């Protein structure tokens, strides 16, 4: 299951993380966010132990959203060793996200 990333745990869970983190920026009222949510959950299971997969509710965690310029959701940010390395805005497939993640693991 994907971690809940908040303004208060973002530093520890993502920026201080040695390795790859994938964050799904979403909101309850967002239709495409609800469509991508099962994909994010599958990825969190598939990459368990290799990648930290988290969800950021933009309505509840505005500091992270503002700091990373999140203007449209869903937005997926991929971090490696605490630095943003890839960004995808909008709905996408599980295969596409897996390809983006795999590129950071090699």
Catalytic residues: 30, 33
Beta strand pairing status for 20-26 and 51-57? parallel
Question: DSSP letters of 19-60?
Answer: SEEEEEEE-TT-HHHHHHHHHHHHHHHHTTTTEEEEEEETTT
Number of residues written out for the chain: 106
């Amino acid at each position: 299951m994907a971690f809940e990333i908040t303004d208060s745990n973002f530093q520890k869970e993502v920026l201080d993380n040695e390795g790859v983190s994938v964050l799904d920026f979403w909101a309850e009222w967002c239709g495409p966010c609800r469509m991508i949510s099962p994909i994010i959950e599958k990825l969190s299971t598939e990459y368990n132990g290799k990648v930290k997969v988290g969800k950021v509710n933009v309505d509840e965690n505005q500091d992270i959203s503002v700091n990373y310029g999140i203007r449209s959701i869903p937005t997926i940010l991929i971090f490696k060793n605490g630095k943003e390395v890839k960004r995808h805005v909008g709905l996408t497939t599980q295969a596409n996200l897996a390809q983006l993640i795999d590129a950071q693991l090699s």
